Structure 1
Amino acid sequence: MKLALASIALTTLIAAPLSAQAQFAKPEDAVKYRQSAFALMGAHTGRVGAVVKGEKPYNKAAVEADVAVMEMMSKLAFTAFPAETDLPNSKAKPDIWKEQDKFKAAAEKMQGEMGKLSAAAKSGDLNAIKTAFGGVGQSCKACHDNYRNK
């Protein structure tokens, strides 16, 4: 029974990013989706950042939960950049669609850094979390510098 539930959960997690792109009836829907995913990721990043800076006490379960949301949103957000979604209400630079390989590489780098942060969060080692959080921040900043309008 546990194996069946785990299999269903894994299938859902794998299929979610793939099906997300197909759900956008209008370009505006994709923009809203990715903005929402990034906003959620940012909110949870802020929570972990407060712990990393010592502004909030470390709680392993809370950090692990926040990082799990960050990691999932980092995958979902990037399913919402289909062609023709560089709309005026989007902060996305047109370079995203001109440099698809570089943009995809930046997304994959950030997702890789999120994976490291997830492993650190699960370990309970606050110093490892701080180090991995720095890598996430650097990868986010690099993508924002290249592909996001202020």
Structure 2
Amino acid sequence: MKTLASLAGAAVLIALSAPASAQFAKPEDAIKYRQSALSVMGTHFGRLGEMVKGKVPFDAKAAQDNAAVVAEMAKLPWAAFGPGTDKGGNTKAKPEIWTEHAKFKAGSDKLIAEADKLVVASKTGNLDALKTSFSATADTCKSCHDGFKNK
């Protein structure tokens, strides 16, 4: 049931994401949007991490469901890093997002690609394949956080 609700929430966010930049009345709205998308992605990635670390039993169906949400959510937050969203709200975004935008864009593209590979790995039903892909995806997240997010 929780997975269904998460997928429904993800579907709503996906439907809203196409014209996302036009929807932000003020920078704080964009900041809240991107933080929400990243939070949902992080929650589902964390669920996969619990399986990968052996803290919860491996469940192939749950792994697939969570990986699918991660992949969809990985596409969403980037439109909300537009001009003027570097200040205001409760943002931890570093100025380098805007001064090194090509590098930031390359990182977001890499995350999307790794999240898609995570879905493929989850569909194998093989925990070792999931671990390998999870690690690559986590490294991509960490790289971006290290370079573009204030602690």
TM exceeding 0.5:
yes
Question: Which residue pairs with 2:145 in the alignment?
Answer: 144
Contact 2:14 2:76 in 1 (8 A): no
Contact 2:94 2:149 in 1 (8 A): yes
Unaligned runs of 5+ residues in structure 1 are 1-11
| Deviation by residue 1:112-137 (Cα, 9 ceiling, x = unmatched) | 11111010011211111000000000
1:84 and 2:84 correspond: yes
For 1:140, the aligned partner's letter is C
Larger radius of gyration: 1
1:40 and 2:40 correspond: yes
Q: 2:127, 2:22 → 1: CA distance?
A: 39
- Percent identity of paired positions between Structure 1 and Structure 2: 50
For 1:112, the aligned partner's letter is A
1:104 and 2:95 correspond: no
For 1:61, the aligned partner's letter is K
TM-score normalised by length of structure 1 = 0.87
* 3-state SS, counterpart of residue 37 of structure 1: helix
Contact 2:44 2:66 in 1 (8 A): yes
Question: Which residue pairs with 2:5 in the alignment?
Answer: none
Unaligned runs of 5+ residues in structure 2 are 1-11
User: Following TM superposition, where does structure 1 have runs of at least 4 consecutive aligned residues deviating by more than 4 angstroms?
Assistant: 12-16
TM-score normalised by length of structure 2 = 0.86
